[in-house]
Amino acid sequence: TQGLALDPGNDDGLPQLQIPTIFAKLTAANVSWKLYYTVTQGGCLDSDDCQSRGASAVYPATNFSQLADSYTYLHSNPGTCAAPTQPSSVVGDSSNSFCIDPTHIAPLSSYYTDLANGTLPSFAFIESGYGVNDEHPGSGQSILAGQQQVAKVVNSLMTSSSWMNSVFFLAYDEGGGPYDHVPPVPGHSNDNTDPMVGSISVGNIPDINSISVDPDTYYPCLPPGGTPTLHCDLRSSQPGANPSDAPAVNGFKAQLGFRVPNMVISPYVRKHYVSHIPMDHTAILKFVQSRFLGASEHLTERDKAQPDLTDFFDFTGAPWAAPPTPPTPVSPASLGYDPCTPTNFGP
């Protein structure tokens, strides 16, 4: 977190951050990786649709761009693209307004090509379709578009030659609905947990204390003069702004986020299994590092404290060697109307 509580780019206007990334670690270990972006910054699924709106509209929409490591693989075109980058016509931008290394950053269409050709990298990261087909609350989009997108991405993997040696993690960054009834506070996260849940599944469900750690040496803080800095961007109305607030006393371990889904899809996942082990998004990093770099590898204390997610798997039985065939997602066309827009939910 480096002390930041807000979006470093959109909210704070900060330059690219010098923070270690999983991509740099994989590169150093000669492990192949690729980031697939779904939309451009102009909200287009195809760069041709944004071509008339200028360079910023056709630029790939990826959070990786907030980190300095990304510059090696993606940046605006200064006139000449230095290796390993190429002019952006290679990904459909006829104006060549940016430089991109298509072996590491590519449009989502390349994901389907890589599946068809059996050329997926060891680690693939798919950026969501921000504001277009990512089910984001408040964007005005139908969540059906996001469901159709997920179905296409996952089903394409399940029917490809890559299925038998792959795992797909699908995680959300926000709940998008009513607040969770489980408090995300260490020592209290099981206050409202039904005891039957623990007795039926894996015994007593542990509290989130195990993953509540200080990720680094930075605490949330108010920036001097009100202008965000690389390590301080709190606003006066936010928790942590007062010295007695829990985030000011305990840092980022004071509270975790509310629960969001994490779905694990693979030939080797245990059937009908729900994990009750506390974890956050960086558990996926822990899995990647354990698989490709070594069990002791980590970026910060946060991912170091995570489980490695192996409880989800049966690597000897391969329960889903024959992949399932999920139903086709409904669409406004198949229903004859769109039931999933904000106006349809009423007050």
CB 216 within 8 Å of CB 284: no
Interatomic CA distance for residues 113 and 161, integer angstroms? 12
Our count of domains for the chain comes to 1
Domain enclosing residue 28, as ranges: 22-184+258-345
Domain annotation covers residue 73: yes
Domain annotation covers residue 229: no
Domain annotation covers residue 143: yes
Structure tokens at 113: 């090509």
Per-residue pLDDT 10s for the chain (347 aa) are 789 999 998 899 999 999 999 999 999 999 999 999 999 999 888 877 787 888 889 999 999 999 999 999 999 998 999 999 999 999 999 899 999 999 999 999 999 999 999 999 999 999 999 888 888 766 777 888 889 999 999 999 999 999 999 999 999 987 766 678 888 899 888 887 777 665 444 446 788 999 999 999 999 999 999 999 999 999 999 999 999 999 999 999 998 988 899 999 999 999 999 998 999 999 999 999 999 999 999 999 999 999 999 999 999 999 999 999 988 898 888 888 877 765 666 55
Predicted structure pTM score: 0.92
Q: HSE (CB half, 13 Å, CA atoms) of 193?
A: 22
Domain annotation covers residue 242: no
Domain annotation covers residue 146: yes
SS3 31: coil
Domain annotation covers residue 228: no
Cα dihedral: 182, 183, 188, 191 (round 10): -30
The predicted structure's pLDDT at residue 197: 62
The predicted structure's pLDDT at residue 201: 45
Domain annotation covers residue 51: yes
Domain annotation covers residue 210: no
